[in-house]
């Protein structure tokens, strides 16, 4: 049972990664930015897993698992931060955060 | 025949994955984006499965699409999913730059993969049936990657503390609010 | 001994900073330390064998992997430069005490620190140690100008720092390159280099510090804005660090590049000499004249150094000492004038000779020595320099001699503008002559100048032990 | 002998030092007397040396004494040494003797000036410097003395420092002399590198091997110094202005001693000049030109001291002429007699000025004879000596110069003609001055001061005048052509003359010179003193030229001073301020602008930060892949 | 049955000490009485850092060679141990600086997070496979994100936290993807194994390397990955900035050198040049942008960018001299960094507003010790003598020169010259004679006495100056440490 070889997975992964990058750079809602970050991490995961398959090596899978946990952690902190921001009645728009600049 | 089925599933999953990914970044409303991400994660789980990562596929669905995204949705709901117009605001060169940069990255990675594809990438290793099974993963976690495992837990712990700290209101904030009201 | 000479003022500085004395007391303490330093220097001179080269060495490994060690010691000529430093610094510290600067503890401590680092520069026999002292010398100067300077001190400090550091940093790069290619940073152990770029890096630092035309952008502001005693050290002593560096490093270590670049350097020095003299001739205030004259003199000294013969080099050292004392005294006098009139602008001065015989006499004597009237130590130095440079081409000597005529013009203008003619609008009717304490500060300097005028050979024949005409230790 | 020389040298320095250091603690009078005594002590020292030298044989009259090494570097050293030989002793005697008389005169002249102490310190210092100059045992010490007399001259010309003219004149004198110092120094550099020494004898010996270019350079450098110091054309313009100083200063420095140092220098360095004959001829030529030019300019001056100053220039021109032709003793002889009679003239003029409360304009004078008869006599004797009327001192010395010129071939005879014209002019301008000031009816100004004083001055002033009057009369008798020549013999070994005029030439020269001098006096009488005076000829152009002193000042102003000022101003305007001062501010403001631009790039939009990272990664990958 | 792997507890002990401290502090922060929390947590965190430092010292003493543990999860060597000491030192000083921070809630948690972040860094510097690298990075990064945003009542703090979080996660996303590519190219995660896999000509590996450099460059705050730095440093609580500026740089730079030399020796010709270029860009951007800053923290942030450039020069040299230079440089740099931010914190606390060049005026005369110390730190940043800053630059330049890269030396020289301008502006502001009229009011009447902060500044001063005089011993340490890397 052979499906597409690893390069196809990788291409998907690359596209997904680029979508994530686009999302982070283009979107202004911090929530969607966070979601885009998740997409980037998942793209990486996909790459890791397909490489694990390529090499027949579990390290990649384990790495991917750890990444999931890390992604979850980032989400937790990110959401906490967004909640704190919302509590301060600031507009949820990353473009509005530019007191610090120059 | 099996191959074709696998291909078909793969194409479906990959398409769904990319489609939902695009959806995530293009929906105006974060709520829909989050939902799209769930779809994205689920379709990724399928791809994982096809790449012989059963345990990870399961974890993806359970942990990610389940737990994390639920939290996400909860927060979005708490904040009231305010929609914004996607791809607008900020300096215009940012959007152009983003597209250029993302495309460049994509092309580069694809080219790199393409350069490699001829030889190495098609030579998939022969794998055991147990490849990617929970048992294997679990064993490695307790032996070779013990440290990574432990650290993952620490990261989660730290993040949890962070979530708590940031999520709760402090007295400094209270005071600020009072000042705001009196003013 | 050498380390003691370096460390004494540094420890004194710490003491002044730490002990919670009032301003006046701390000033007196600092003055005592400075005088003790002079005494220590005198002891060293007494023990020094002028028939030998490097002496009184202290050497201790600092970090061995790159071959850097704390290595200090004195040559005959560097001992004179160090003597100039300690004497001038003692005078300036005494003057600062007398002038009663605000925040006196910090001020006096910084002056002592400066003294120690200048002595360190003249003693350094390792490139990195040299760099350390060279820079350490600048640190207190920055503060002294930046805090106690005049109205435009911020600009003056910035210019001074950026100019001097830009030069110094190029030197640091050169030190790195030189030391690594030689395998040692020690000035005694290392050999010669024929790398032009490394040479130019060193040259840059010294050209700025001296300053040579056209690297003197910092000069006028710094000299004008700094407190007078700081200007005294700056022009009198700090510029001599460049002399030491030029001689001990560039000339001694880069024989080939020196040959190659001799003419351009001589041209720059000559341009600087004439240019600064001309500007001094039209400058509008006492300090500017002294500043530009200082620059002109440095051009002359560089001319002597790069004549690369015994006459010129000896003359350069002699002239360094002479000019150090002269310009320090002139700046101190400028300070004394400013405390009386609140200005050093010529247009507001004049007629101060009347009723102020001591002031007039001292200013006149110093001025006359500054313009190198024959018989003065400055004349002896300039004579040797020009005699030395004559060998490289009569035109250098001719231009140099011409510049000395210009020196006569601007110094006489200075003297007249301050002392002669009708009383200036800033000069008070009631004549305040120099106080005896001020005299006690200035007169020893003048006496030193007169002594050296009577016997310039006391320095010129004790610079180098050997009688061969090859310059360089 | 050496003790005498050192005493001679150091006594005035000690006097100056004592007056300076004691400051207010001694009275002004005490300072004056300290100075006077110190200079007379120097004279005593000079006499001791003189006597000691006389006792020796003619060949042994040369002693060097070195106090310590003054300047040395390895292979080159110069001692602080004195040379005692007939030449230097002659100068020592003149300097300290005439100097002593003038300082004594100053005691009276300067009385009441608030800064007397300073004056006398300067005077003593000057005498010291002048003695150092003439006693110097090598060129460098000579240059030291040379410079120090310049300094003393500066100090004394500008003594009344609240007068801007005095300050300006002092600066001018110093700077022109500094120019001369510089050319001398250059000459010494040649000597150092070519002969390795600055000692007189070895340097002269070594000079023989030099190339003619080098020799010409050395001689030219020395001549530059001499010309500047002795106010010869073209470096003469400072001397008339120097009359801003007190009159005794003019007498001492600008008549008797310092200005003649150039003559001394040429005599001292004659071996070099003889090796560079063209330069020596140049010296003679310059002297000849100066004596004419100065004589002409003296005709129109209206300041009593300036007239005498131009006359000094003119007489030094004679001396240059002499030494330039190699008649060294003749030049020195005239130097000595000139010291007597010119000092006398200045001091007599000083008496007049003193009497008239500082007035120096001869147009306001007239008939001074009535109120100052003895001064009148002294001035008359001085004037006659100056014109060269026998048997006064000037006659013998000036005529010996003219005779030497006559004996020096074609070039010499041209110069001889110059000298004769000069003699005519001398008679003319001297007696113009004399007649205007002393003859005729007293002018209102003179009337006004007629009864102000008792006598013509205090004894401190009159005694020196009397002594100098005597010297002006008899000073020339030590050398009478055809009879004896003690002076020439005395100097013979030091400076062997190149020309020895015959007695006939002497007589021809004397007759012509005296005749022309008398003619000049007669013309002066016609225009200024005759009962029926002839009106002055109206030569407007000539007058203009003369009153502007041949436009030398204007020329130097246009050629040196103005360009220097202009260059300086342009340098400040176009180089110093914009380039040197502006470069750093330009660089910093440029850097700050760049910083501002970077700040703009730091937009605050976090999305741009991510974009920067993504872009950089993209570039990095491309580069890596492409390079590989 | 699973064979339990043998764990080298000593190698982990510094990390564990800090983790333990974090745990204890957290407990106290949660269950202790309110008055007790801050004191206890602070003390525990301080003790944790000190213990970690001591244990790292022991580790340094007892690790003569380089030993890979747990399937290349981490390496026990002197390279990591020395870096751990520096991090622990910076952490301990940061605790002292933090003490005077007026924070009513979460003060206990703050110290727990500080200790946790420190633990992460200490672990991170020993990481020797891509997974532990990523996890360690996230460990301390997440702790820092939280700490940056800790002053939730301050909008700038939130802004800093949000920016740091998003841009930081973006950076680690790129790092992760790069790791994945490297893994794909070699099939290995461990650094040494990557090198051994011999996938030298592999484009995947190169792309991965580029992304890893970017990710680490982000943490180092090297330009052009630096843009978060000024915003975050400015917005974060000052004590956090102090910790971040010192410790994060140490961790990231040390690890960057480790991964580049261990995992990518064959790609040396690429990454040395890349790092060199990044170094130059950092020098240029950091210094030039700092010229116009008026906010002191922001100015120091740009300065830290430029110093990242300097230290990257050492990395680019890729030699034992470079390694030595890097480790040596980090010691005074950390001290100067913590010290200068501590001084800023002191001023901030007495004024109650952000410190700018304007309200810093006259500081030297009001607080002579702190002012003089600040002057010394500035001198250190400039690379002036009597501070280790000079020797650090000297070594960095030496390393670059010996590597044949004289143009890096020149770039460093020019950058230093530019930097003088803004450092000196700070100094000039500090020296300004106080004019009562212009003097900002001190919040709360009189300057708060904060002996702990003063002692932190004092210790920083001692290190800054001491590292100048005792170069020999420190260099020996650094030399031994650098010997653990395969140059």
Query: What's the pLDDT at D589?
Result: 87
The band of C375, judged by pLDDT with boundaries at 50, 70 and 90, is: confident
pLDDT tier for residue B30 given thresholds of 50, 70 and 90 = confident
The secondary structure element, H or E, covering residue D63 is strand D63-73
Q: Which of residues 138-157 of E touch D (CB under 8 A)?
A: none
Residue E222: closest CA among chain D residues belongs to which residue?
A: D613
Task: Verify whether the Cβ–Cβ distance D609 to E227 is below 8 Å.
Answer: yes
Confidence of residue D475 (pLDDT cuts 50, 70, 90): confident
D466 burial class (0-12, 13-18, 19+ CB within 10 angstroms)? middle
**How many whole angstroms separate alpha carbon D541 and alpha carbon D255?**
30
Q: What is the pLDDT of residue E487?
A: 80
In this complex, do E413 and C64 lie within 8 Å of one another by their Cβ atoms?
Answer: no
Mean of all residue pLDDT scores within chain A: 88
Neighbours of D445 (CB within 10 A): 17
Q: How near does any CA of chain D get to the CA of C158, in Å? A: 9
D542 and chain B in contact, CB less than 8 A: no
Residue A44 has pLDDT above 80, yes or no: yes
Element spanning C69, H or E: strand C68-74
pLDDT of residue E335: 95
What residues of chain E lie within 8 A of the CB of D591, using their CB?
288, 291, 418, 421
Confidence of residue C473 (pLDDT cuts 50, 70, 90): very low
Contact at CB, D621 and B102, closer than 8 angstroms: no
Burial of residue E201 (number of CB atoms within 10 Å: 0-12, 13-18, 19+): exposed
Instruction: Please check whether residue C56 touches D, CB under 8 A.
Output: no
CA of D150: how far to CAs of C373, D48, D145, D172, E39, in Å?
9, 28, 8, 11, 83
User: In this model, does residue E384 exceed pLDDT 50?
Assistant: yes
Q: How confident is the model at residue D365 (pLDDT cuts 50, 70, 90)?
A: confident
E227 confidence band (pLDDT: 50, 70, 90): very high
Report the Cα E394 to chain-centroid distance in Å.
Answer: 20
Residue-wise pLDDT for B60-94, tens only, equals: 888 887 888 888 888 888 887 566 666 666 677 88
Helix ranges (DSSP H) in E291-387: 296-317, 320-351, 363-366, 368-382
The pLDDT score that the predictor gives to residue C472 is: 44
**How much is the pLDDT for E434?**
59
Task: Report how far apart, in Å, the C-alpha atoms of D417 and of each of C308, C439, D299, D406, D421 are.
Answer: 53, 60, 19, 9, 6
Instruction: Using CA coordinates, name the residue in chain C closest to E475.
Output: C63
pLDDT at C471 exceeding the cut of 50? no
Which one is predicted more confidently, E2 or D461?
D461
How far does the CA of residue B110 sit from the closest CA of chain A (Å)? 6
CATH class belonging to A6-96: mainly alpha
Tens digits of per-residue pLDDT, D66-102? 888 888 887 788 888 888 888 888 888 889 988 999 9
pTM for the whole structure: 0.92
* Cβ contact A65–B59 (<8 Å): yes
- Whether D23 and chain B come into contact, CB under 8 Å, resolves to no
Give the B window 65-94 contacts with A, CB below 8 Å. 67-68, 71-72, 75-76, 78-79, 82, 84, 86-90, 94
The pLDDT of residue A43 is 94
Q: What would the DSSP string read from start to end of D217-268?
A: HHHHHHHHHHHHHTT-TTS-THHHHGGGS-HHHHHIIIIISGGGHHHHHHHH
The reply to whether residue B101 touches residue D614, judged by beta carbons under 8 angstroms, is yes
Tell me, what's the ipTM?
A: 0.91
Would you call C421 an interface residue with chain D, using a CB distance cutoff of 8 Å? yes
Banded pLDDT at B175 (limits 50, 70, 90): confident
| Contact in structure between D36 and D104 (CB atoms under 8 Å) | yes
Which residues from A are below 8 Å from B146, CB to CB?
Answer: none
Yes or no, beta carbons of A40 and E170 under 8 Å apart: yes
From the CA of D611, how many Å to the nearest CA of chain B? 6
Contact at 8 Å (CB) between D39 and D124? yes
Please say if the pLDDT value at position D449 is more than 80.
no
Residue C221 with chain E: CB contacts under 8 Å:
none
Nearest CA in chain E to C69: E472
E71 and B144: CB-CB below 8 Å?
yes
Smallest CA-to-CA distance from C115 within C269, C231, C233 is with C233
Cβ D610–A28 below 8 Å, yes or no?
Answer: no
CB contact under 8 A, E471 and C63: yes
Touch test E–C: 3 Cβ pairs or more under 8 Å = yes
Mean pLDDT of A18-37: 90
Query: Mean pLDDT over residues E325-341, rounded?
Result: 95
Helix (H) or strand (E) holding C241: helix C239-245
Q: Say whether pLDDT at E445 is over 60.
A: no
Q: pLDDT tens digits, residue range D131-167? A: 999 988 888 999 999 999 999 999 888 888 888 888 8
Mean pLDDT computed over E319-340: 94
Give CA angle at D158 (D156, D161), nearest 5°.
130
| For D188, nearest residue in chain C (alpha carbons) | C387
**Cβ contact, residue pair B105, D614, below 8 Å:** yes
Mean pLDDT score of chain E, rounded to an integer?
90
- In angstroms, what separates the C-alpha of A72 from chain D's closest C-alpha? 21
Above 60 in pLDDT, residue C461?
Answer: yes
Confidence of residue C119 (pLDDT cuts 50, 70, 90): very high
* Residue C469 reports pLDDT greater than 50: no
E412 pLDDT exceeds 90? Answer: yes
Q: Which residues of D touch E162 (CB under 8 A)?
A: 606
pLDDT value at residue E241 = 95
Decide: A95 and B179 in contact? Cβ < 8 Å: no
pLDDT at E18: 95
How far separated are the first and last CA of chain E, in Å rounded?
A: 41
Answer yes or no: do E134 and A63 touch at CB < 8 A: yes
Contact D69 C457 (CB under 8 A): yes
C-alpha C352: how far from chain center: 28
Q: C: neighbours with 3+ CB pairs under 8 Å?
A: D, E
Q: What is the pLDDT of residue C470?
A: 43
CB C200 within 8 A of CB C258: no
Question: Hey, are the CB atoms on E394 and C133 less than 8 Å from each other?
Answer: no
Beta bridge partners of D79: D69
Question: What would the mean pLDDT of E387-406 be, rounded to a whole number?
Answer: 93
Cβ atoms of D422 and D292 within 8 Å: the answer is yes
Segment among C172-176, D254-258, E353-357, E424-428 with least mean pLDDT: D254-258
What does residue C60 show for φ and ψ, rounded to 5 degrees?
-150, 135
Q: Which of C91, C85, C87, C94 is nearest to C114 (CA)?
A: C85
Query: How much is the average pLDDT of C354-375?
Result: 88
Average pLDDT, chain D: 86
| Min distance E431 CA to chain C CA atoms (Å) | 6
Residue E297 binned pLDDT confidence (cut-offs 50, 70, 90):
very high
E201 close to D (CB below 8 A): yes
- In angstroms, the separation between the Cα of residue D583 and the nearest Cα of chain E is 14
- pLDDT tops 50 at residue C26: yes
| Mutant choice from B105, B121, B136, B158 vs E, greatest count of E C-beta within 10 A | B158
Q: Is the pLDDT score of B120 beyond 70? A: no
Q: Do E158 and A54 touch (CB under 8 A)?
A: no
CA atoms D160, D162, D168, D172: torsion sign: positive
Most D CBs within 10 Å: which of A20, A25, A39, as the mutation test of the D interface? A25
E8 and A CB contact within 8 Å: no
Q: What is the 3-state secondary structure (H, E, C) of C5-65?
A: HHHHHHHHHHHHHHCCCCHHHHHHHHHHHHHHHHHHHHHHHHHCCCCCCCEEEEEEEEEHH
Q: Does E466 touch chain C if contact means CB atoms closer than 8 Å?
A: no
Please tell me if residue D607 touches chain B, with a CB cutoff of 8 Å: yes
Banded model confidence at residue E1, pLDDT cuts 50, 70, 90: low
Are the C-beta atoms of residues D353 and D364 closer than 8 Å to each other? no
Closest C-alpha to B94, from B82, B102, B105:
B102
Domain coordinates in residue numbering, chain A: 6-96
Q: Do E475 and C180 touch (CB under 8 A)?
A: no
Which residues, in sequence order, are CB contacts of D570 under 8 Å at separation 6+? none
Query: CA-to-CA distance for D89 and D49, rounded, in angstroms?
Result: 7
Number of neighbouring beta carbons within 10 Å of residue E47:
18
Q: Which residues on chain C are in Cβ contact (under 8 Å) with E433? A: 147
Cβ of B90 within 8 Å of Cβ of D614? The answer is no
- Which 42-61 residues of chain C touch chain E by CB within 8 A? 61
Beta strands in D455-575 (DSSP E): 479-480, 484-485
Q: How far is D623 from chain A (nearest CA, A)?
A: 19
* C410-427 mean pLDDT: 85
Position E145 pLDDT exceeds 50: yes
Q: Tell me the average pLDDT across D611-628.
A: 89
Is the pLDDT assigned to residue C101 strictly greater than 90? no
Of A48, A44, A68, nearest to A59 by C-alpha is A48
pLDDT at A1 over 70: no
Q: Do D74 and C464 touch (CB under 8 A)?
A: yes
């Amino acid at each position: 049972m052979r499906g597409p070889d690893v390069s196809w997975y990788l291409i998907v992964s690359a596209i997904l990664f680029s979508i994530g990058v686009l999302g982070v750079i283009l979107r202004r809602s911090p929530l969607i930015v966070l979601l885009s970050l998740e997409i980037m991490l998942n793209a990486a995961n996909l790459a890791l897993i397909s490489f694990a398959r390529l090499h027949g090596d579990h390290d990649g899978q384990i790495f991917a698992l750890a990444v999931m946990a890390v992604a979850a952690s980032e989400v937790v902190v990110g959401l906490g931060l967004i909640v704190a921001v919302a509590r301060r009645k600031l507009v949820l728009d990353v473009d509005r955060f530019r007191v610090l600049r120059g | 025949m099996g191959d074709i089925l696998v291909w078909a599933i793969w194409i479906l999953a990959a398409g769904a994955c990319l489609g939902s990914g695009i959806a995530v970044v293009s929906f105006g409303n974060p709520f829909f984006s989050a939902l799209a991400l769930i779809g994205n994660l689920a379709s990724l789980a399928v791809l994982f499965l096809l790449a012989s990562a059963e345990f990870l596929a399961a974890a993806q669905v359970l942990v990610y699409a389940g737990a994390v995204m639920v939290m996400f949705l909860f927060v979005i709901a708490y904040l009231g999913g305010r929609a914004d117009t996607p791809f607008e605001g900020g300096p215009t060169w940012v959007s152009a730059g983003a597209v250029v940069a993302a495309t460049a990255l994509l092309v580069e990675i694809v080219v790199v993969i393409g350069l490699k594809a001829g030889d190495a990438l098609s030579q998939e290793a022969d794998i055991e049936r147990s490849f990617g099974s929970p048992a294997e993963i679990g064993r490695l976690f307790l032996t070779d990657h013990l440290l990574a495992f432990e650290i993952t837990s620490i990261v989660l712990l730290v993040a949890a503390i962070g979530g708590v700290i940031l999520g709760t209101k402090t007295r400094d904030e209270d005071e600020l609010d009072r000042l705001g009201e009196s003013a | 001994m050498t380390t003691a000479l370096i460390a004494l003022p540094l420890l004194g500085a710490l003491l002044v900073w730490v002990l919670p004395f009032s301003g006046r007391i701390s000033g007196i303490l600092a003055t005592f330390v400075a005088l003790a330093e002079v005494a220590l220097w005198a002891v060293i001179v007494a023990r020094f064998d002028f028939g030998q080269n490097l002496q009184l060495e202290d050497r201790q490994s600092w970090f061995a992997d790159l071959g850097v060690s704390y290595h200090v010691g004195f040559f005959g000529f560097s001992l004179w430069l160090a003597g100039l430093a300690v004497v001038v610094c003692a005078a300036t510290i005494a003057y600062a005490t007398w002038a009663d600067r605000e925040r006196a503890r910090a001020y006096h401590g910084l002056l002592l620190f400066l003294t120690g680092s200048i002595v360190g520069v003249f003693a350094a026999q390792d490139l990195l140690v040299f760099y350390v002292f060279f820079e350490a010398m600048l640190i207190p100067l920055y503060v002294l100008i930046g805090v106690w300077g005049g109205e435009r001190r911020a600009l003056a400090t910035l210019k001074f720092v950026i100019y001097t550091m830009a030069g110094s940093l190029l030197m640091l790069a050169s030190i790195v390159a030189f030391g690594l290619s030689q395998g040692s940073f020690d000035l005694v152990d290392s050999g010669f280099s024929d790398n032009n770029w490394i040479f130019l890096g060193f040259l840059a630092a010294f050209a700025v510090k001296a300053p040579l035309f056209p690297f003197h952008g910092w000069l006028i502001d710094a000299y004008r804005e700094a407190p007078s005693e700081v200007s005294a050290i700056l022009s009198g002593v700090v510029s001599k660090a460049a002399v030491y560096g030029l001689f001990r490093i560039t000339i001694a270590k880069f024989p080939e590049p020196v040959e190659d670049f001799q003419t351009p350097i001589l041209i720059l020095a000559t341009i600087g000499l004439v240019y600064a003299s001309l500007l001094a001739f039209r400058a509008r205030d006492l300090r500017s004249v002294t500043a530009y004259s200082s620059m002109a003199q440095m051009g002359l000294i560089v001319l002597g150094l790069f004549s690369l013969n015994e006459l010129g080099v000896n003359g350069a050292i002699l002239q360094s000492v002479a000019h150090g004392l002269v310009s320090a005294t002139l700046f101190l006098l400028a300070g004394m004038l400013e405390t009386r009139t609140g200005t050093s602008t010529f247009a507001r001065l004049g007629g101060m000779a009347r009723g102020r015989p001591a002031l007039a006499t001292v200013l006149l004597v110093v001025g006359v020595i500054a313009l190198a009237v024959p018989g003065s130590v400055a004349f002896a130095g300039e004579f040797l320099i020009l005699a030395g440079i004559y060998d490289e081409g009569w035109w250098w000597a001719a231009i140099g001699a011409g510049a000395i005529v210009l020196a006569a013009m601007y110094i006489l203008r200075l003297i007249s503008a301050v002392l002669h003619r009708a009383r200036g609008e800033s000069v008070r009717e009631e004549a305040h002559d120099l106080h005896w304490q001020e005299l006690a500060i200035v007169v020893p300097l003048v006496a030193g100048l007169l002594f050296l005028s009577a016997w310039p050979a006391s320095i010129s024949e004790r610079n180098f032990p050997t009688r061969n005409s090859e310059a360089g230790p | 002998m050496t003790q005498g020389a050192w005493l001679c040298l150091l006594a005035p320095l000690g006097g100056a030092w004592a007056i300076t250091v004691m400051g207010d603690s001694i009275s002004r009078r005490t300072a004056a007397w300290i100075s006077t005594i110190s200079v007379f002590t120097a004279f005593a020292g000079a006499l001791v040396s003189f006597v000691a030298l006389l006792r020796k044989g003619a060949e042994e009259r040369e002693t060097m004494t070195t106090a310590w090494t003054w300047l040395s570097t390895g292979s080159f050293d110069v001692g602080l040494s004195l040379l005692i030989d007939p030449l230097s002793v002659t100068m020592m005697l003149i300097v300290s003797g005439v100097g002593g008389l003038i300082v004594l005169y100053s005691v009276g002249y300067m009385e009441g000036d608030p800064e007397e102490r300073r004056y006398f310190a300067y005077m003593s210092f000057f005498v010291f410097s002048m003695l150092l100059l003439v006693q110097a045992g090598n060129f460098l010490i000579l240059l030291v003395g040379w410079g120090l007399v310049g300094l003393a001259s500066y100090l004394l010309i500008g003594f009344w420092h609240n007068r801007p003219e005095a300050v300006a004149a002092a600066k001018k004198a110093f700077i022109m002399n500094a120019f001369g110092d510089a050319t001398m120094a250059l000459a010494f550099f040649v000597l150092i590198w070519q002969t390795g020494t600055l000692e007189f004898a070895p340097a002269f010996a070594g000079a023989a091997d030099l190339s003619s270019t080098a020799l010409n350079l050395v001689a030219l450098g020395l001549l530059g110094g001499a010309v500047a110091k002795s106010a010869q054309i073209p470096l003469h313009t400072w001397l008339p202005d120097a009359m801003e100083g007190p009159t005794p200063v003019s007498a001492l420095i600008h008549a008797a001693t310092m200005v003649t140092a150039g003559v001394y220098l040429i005599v001292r360095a004659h071996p070099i000049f003889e090796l560079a004959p063209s330069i020596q001829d140049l010296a003679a030529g310059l002297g000849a030109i100066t004596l004419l030019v100065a004589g002409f300019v003296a005709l129109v001056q209206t300041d009593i001291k300036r007239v005498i100053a131009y006359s000094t220039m003119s007489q030094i021109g004679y001396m240059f002429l002499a030494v330039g032709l190699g008649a060294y003793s003749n030049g020195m002889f005239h130097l000595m007699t000139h010291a007597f009679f010119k000092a006398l003239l200045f001091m007599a003029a000083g008496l007049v000025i003193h009497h008239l409360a500082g007035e120096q304009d001869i147009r306001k004078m007239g008939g001074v004879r009535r109120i100052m008869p003895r001064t009148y006599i002294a001035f008359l004797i001085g004037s006659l000596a100056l014109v060269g009327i026998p048997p006064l001192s000037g006659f013998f010395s000036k005529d010996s110069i003219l005779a030497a010129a006559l004996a020096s071939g074609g070039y010499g005879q041209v110069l001889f003609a110059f000298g004769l014209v000069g003699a005519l002019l001398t008679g003319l301008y001297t007696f113009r001055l004399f007649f205007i000031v002393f003859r005729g009816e007293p002018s209102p100004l003179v009337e006004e001061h007629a009864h102000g004083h008792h006598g013509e001055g205090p004894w401190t002033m009159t005694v020196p005048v009397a002594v100098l009057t005597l010297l002006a009369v008899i000073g020339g008798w030590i050398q009478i052509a055809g009879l004896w020549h003690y002076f020439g013999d005395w100097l013979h070994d030091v400076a062997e003359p190149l020309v020895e005029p015959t007695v006939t030439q002497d007589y021809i020269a004397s007759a012509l010179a005296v005749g022309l001098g008398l003619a000049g006096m007669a013309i002066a009488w016609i225009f200024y003193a005759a009962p029926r005076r002839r009106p002055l000829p109206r030569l407007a152009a000539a007058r203009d030229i003369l009153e502007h002193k041949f436009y030398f000042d204007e020329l130097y102003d246009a050629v040196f001073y103005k360009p220097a000022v202009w260059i300086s101003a342009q340098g400040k305007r176009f180089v110093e301020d914009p380039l040197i001062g502006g470069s750093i501010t330009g660089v910093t403001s440029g850097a700050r602008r760049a910083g501002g631009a970077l700040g703009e790039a730091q937009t605050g939009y976090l999305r741009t930060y991510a974009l920067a990272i993504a872009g950089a990664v993209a570039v990095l990958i491309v580069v890596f892949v492409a390079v590989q | 049955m699973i064979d339990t792997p043998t764990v080298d507890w000593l190698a982990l002990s510094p990390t564990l000490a800090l983790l333990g401290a974090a745990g204890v502090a957290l407990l106290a922060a949660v269950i202790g009485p309110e008055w007790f929390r801050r004191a206890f947590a602070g003390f525990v965190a301080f003790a944790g850092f000190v213990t970690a430092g001591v244990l790292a010292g022991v580790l340094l003493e007892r690790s003569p060679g380089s030993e890979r543990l747990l399937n290349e999860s981490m390496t026990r060597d002197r390279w990591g141990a020395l870096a751990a000491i520096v991090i622990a030192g910076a952490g301990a000083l940061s605790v002292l600086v933090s003490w005077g921070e007026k924070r009513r809630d979460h003060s206990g948690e703050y110290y727990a997070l500080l200790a946790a972040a420190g633990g992460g860094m200490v672990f991170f510097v020993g990481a020797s496979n891509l997974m532990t690298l990523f996890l360690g990075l996230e460990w301390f990064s997440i702790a820092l994100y939280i700490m940056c945003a800790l002053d939730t009542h301050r909008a700038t703090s939130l802004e800093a936290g949000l920016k740091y979080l998003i841009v930081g996660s973006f950076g680690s996303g790129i790092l992760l993807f790069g790791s994945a590519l490297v893994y794909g190219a070699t099939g290995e995660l461990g650094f040494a194994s990557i090198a051994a896999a011999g996938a030298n000509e592999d484009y995947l590996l190169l792309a991965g390397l580029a992304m890893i450099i970017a990710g680490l460059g982000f943490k180092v705050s090297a330009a052009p990955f630096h843009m978060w730095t000024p915003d975050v440093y400015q917005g974060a609580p000052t004590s956090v900035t102090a910790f971040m500026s010192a410790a994060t740089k140490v961790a990231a730079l040390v690890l960057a050198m480790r991964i580049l030399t261990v995992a990518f020796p064959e790609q040396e010709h690429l990454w040395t040049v890349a790092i060199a270029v990044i170094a130059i860009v950092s020098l240029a951007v950091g210094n030039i942008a700092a010229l116009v800053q008026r906010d002191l923290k922001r100015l120091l942030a740009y300065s830290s960018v430029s110093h990242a450039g300097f230290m990257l020069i050492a990395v680019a040299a890729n030699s034992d001299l470079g390694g030595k230079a890097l480790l040596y440089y980090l010691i005074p740099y950390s001290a100067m960094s913590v010290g200068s931010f501590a001084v800023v914190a002191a001023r901030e606390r007495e004024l109650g507003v952000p410190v700018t060049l304007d309200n810093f005026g006259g500081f030297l005369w009001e607080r002579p010790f702190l002012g003089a110390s600040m002057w010394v730190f500035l001198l250190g940043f400039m690379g002036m003598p009597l501070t280790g800053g000079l020797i650090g630059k000297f070594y960095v330049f030496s390393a670059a020169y010996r590597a044949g890269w004289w143009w890096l030396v020149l770039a460093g020289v020019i950058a230093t010259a530019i930097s003088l301008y803004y450092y000196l502006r700070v100094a000039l502001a500090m020296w300004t004679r106080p004019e009562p009229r212009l003097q900002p009011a001190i919040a709360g009447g009189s300057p708060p006495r904060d002996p702990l902060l003063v002692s932190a500044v004092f210790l920083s001063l001692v290190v800054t100056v001491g590292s100048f005089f005792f170069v020999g011993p420190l260099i020996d340490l650094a030399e031994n440490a650098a010997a653990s890397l395969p140059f």
